[in-house]
Every structure is written in C-alpha cells, then in structure tokens.
Amino acid sequence: MATATTTAVMGPQSLLTYWTMVTNGIEVSNIRPASRTEPEIAMLRLSTEAYKELKSDPLLFLHKYNIFERPLNGIRSFSEKPERRLGASEKSVWYLNASHNLYCDVDLFAFESPAVE
C-alpha cells in the first residue's frame, strides 16, 4: 500500500478527498474494502512522465509503488481517454481508476486532464 505524505483536498460538492504522495508525480487515493470479499479501488493522479512509466508496464508500476495490499496476477483491461483538446502537452495530468478484484486481476481506465497551475 502506498504510504507517504497525505493531504486532504476539498473537492466538488464539499467531498473530502485524500491524496497520498507516493513520489514526485504520483499520488494515490485508496478506497479500503470493508472485507476481504470486496475489491480494492484506487484513484491515481499522475504526471505525464509517470503515466508513460505506467503505460510501459502497468503491472510492474502497480507493484513498484505498492498501490494495492493484495497480490496482483495481471492486468485484465486497460483503456485510456486522451484529451484531444489539450494537444500533446507535457503539463497534462492523468487520472487513473484502478480496481483490483478478488481474483487478483486489475482493470484500469485512464483519462487526461489539463494541469492546474
């Protein structure tokens, strides 16, 4: 599980979101399962550089940064939605929804967003 500095950010509709900085360019927000029979879910906020690392080998990336507590077998699906209106920007931020099921498979969905400066 990712451990490091945790910050609370007030989001839309006054929902409190906790982002844990794993390393420069990688932050994670985990939803803990209530029991061992429920999936683990993580939301990652990645720099363009970190996203390129993830894309090159998603399973290695998830292991390397300890995104989930339970073991991982493989990536079951991976889809992405680049933001065409942004163009090819190194300042983009990538958000990644990752769900880790009971069979230790991971589904990933990534989308690009403009960086907030």
Distance CA 32, CA 69 (A): 10
Q: Locate the DSSP E strands across 11-104.
A: 16-23, 26-31, 40-47, 74-81, 93-100
Token representation of residue 54: 């993830």
Distance CA 38, CA 82 (A): 30
pLDDT in tens, 2-50: 555 555 554 444 455 689 999 999 999 998 888 888 889 999 999 999 9
Global pTM reads: 0.77
The residue whose two tokens read 């993580």 is 42
Domain ranges (residues) in the chain: 5-113
The residue whose two tokens read 């993830």 is 54
